[in-house]
Amino acid sequence: MSESWEEEFKRKMVSPEEAVKVVKSGDRVSFTYGREPRALGLALAARLGELKDVKIFIRTPGMDFGWYDAGWEESFQIEISYVLPITREMMSERRCDFVIGGLLGMTPRHPAIGEADVLLTEVSEPDEHGFCSFGASTWGKRKAVECAKVVIAEVNKNLIRTFGENYVHVSEIDYFVEHISGGKTPGATDLLGRKTWEPGDVERRVAEFVSTLIADGDTLQMGVGSTSEWIAILGAFNHRADLGWHSETTPRGIIKLVREGVITGGRKNIHRGKAVAVAVGGGDKEDMDFVNNHPMFELYDADYVLNPSVIGANDQVTCINSAISVDLTGQIAAESVGPTLVSGPGGQLAFAIGSQLSKGGRFITTLPSTAKGGAISRIVPQFDQGTIVTIPRTLADIVVTEFGIARLYGKTQRERASELTAIAHPDFRGELYQEAKKLFWP
């Protein structure tokens, strides 16, 4: 008589300490993108000194297991693909390495995912058919499970379920452990684990300008960032109808717009009537309860959601993303200040391409005009040496600061320089104008 899934689940349930015994010196251990399984992370960190040369890949570090401190390198060598506050000191001291992703995000083709000796993830309790949910995000987790040699899952009964491809069967997991609570404080951080703050005049003015660029029936994408994440909350979409949603992340305020009938997906060409994303979050408990098992919400892996041909299949795809700085030719930097990494690329490039493939599509970049309390301009004549270009000038479209809207698509170098200078902070416009004359005029 064959074993039932219930019997298999019970047999595979072990303690975190027992589960991580499968990790050997020299192994590559990968955490799936999203919430780190806390019990497994702590159990693995407890093997400090016992293990040697274990490579640990954590795409967006959010919990401190100790290995970001100096002195852990002999046991654990850390690789990340997003520089967040918890790893900035480690990155500046070059005690970890940065994994460069591809156009479609981290897929199993990437060694950090596809060559994992041990994969650590978090799942919900099984349903009546033996299927677990990955909760509020997928991020290639299903494919990572298929590729890893050993898969260990921490069972968190609080994870939501969604439609789409957000599931894994008990039979696909090698070991299960019980979840222990702790780590991040709900509501105290944004989607990337950074402390949140209240919007100010800059964020409000940016949202007002963006609202003038939105049309009924647009299919929206929004990225994380200091200006873009506030746009929905500040009411930029409230006056529109039949908006759609196809995005990597789901920032604060979006679920509320679905609840209120502003986002319906009623005019989308594909996934009509559905809100499609890789991750859904950024809301309160009421929002997440609304998403749980709601047929309108569908989560898919990044290599599908970030595929430019899929993005461009809908009309009027309107993408809104934050940046660190923009140069006068329209190059967009969203990852570094000079050679110093402070963030990651996310899905910006995929959506920049996808929006151009979309009939009536737009790619909007938002940023404050200045940084460091107004001491420096974020619109610059040329980038500092070593600055990483996230979006090339050939894909630049619309740039918004608190001083206005610059329309770059199809414009010459001189026209772009003039457009961008006009939305820079007034304190820097004269300097930018003089630099532009040197660069682009005889």
- Identify the weakest region by mean pLDDT among 20-24, 108-112, 264-268, 384-388: 108-112
Confidence of residue 188 (pLDDT cuts 50, 70, 90): very low
Q: What is the mean pLDDT of residues 152-173?
A: 97
- Identify the weakest region by mean pLDDT among 123-137, 332-346, 352-366: 332-346
Nearest C-alpha neighbor of 397 from the set 350, 368, 362, 438: 362
Decide: residue 97, CB within 10 A, 0-12 exposed, 13-18 middle, 19+ buried: middle
What is the pLDDT of the chain when averaged over all its residues?
93
Could you give the strand order of the β-sheet that contains 325-327, starting from the edge strand earlier in sequence? 332-333, 325-327, 379-380
Q: At 324, list the tokens.
A: 């660190």
Confidence of residue 106 (pLDDT cuts 50, 70, 90): low
Nearest C-alpha neighbor of 275 from the set 212, 211, 222, 339: 222
Q: Bridge-partner residues for 246, per DSSP? A: 276
Q: What is the mean pLDDT of residues 271-291?
A: 92
From the candidates 122, 154, 229, 248, give the one annotated as an active-site residue. 248
Q: With contact defined as beta carbons under 8 Å apart, do 292 and 160 qualify? A: yes
- Identify the weakest region by mean pLDDT among 21-30, 109-118, 432-441: 109-118
Confidence of residue 198 (pLDDT cuts 50, 70, 90): confident
Q: Set out the domains of the chain in order of their start, with CATH numbers.
A: 5-178 (3.40.1080.10), 201-440 (3.40.1080.20)
Q: What is the mean pLDDT of residues 432-441?
A: 97
Residue 336 parent element (H or E): strand 336-337
Residue 39 pLDDT exceeds 90: yes
The pLDDT tens digits for 424-434 are 999 999 999 99
Active site (annotated) includes residue 146:
no
Confidence of residue 189 (pLDDT cuts 50, 70, 90): very low
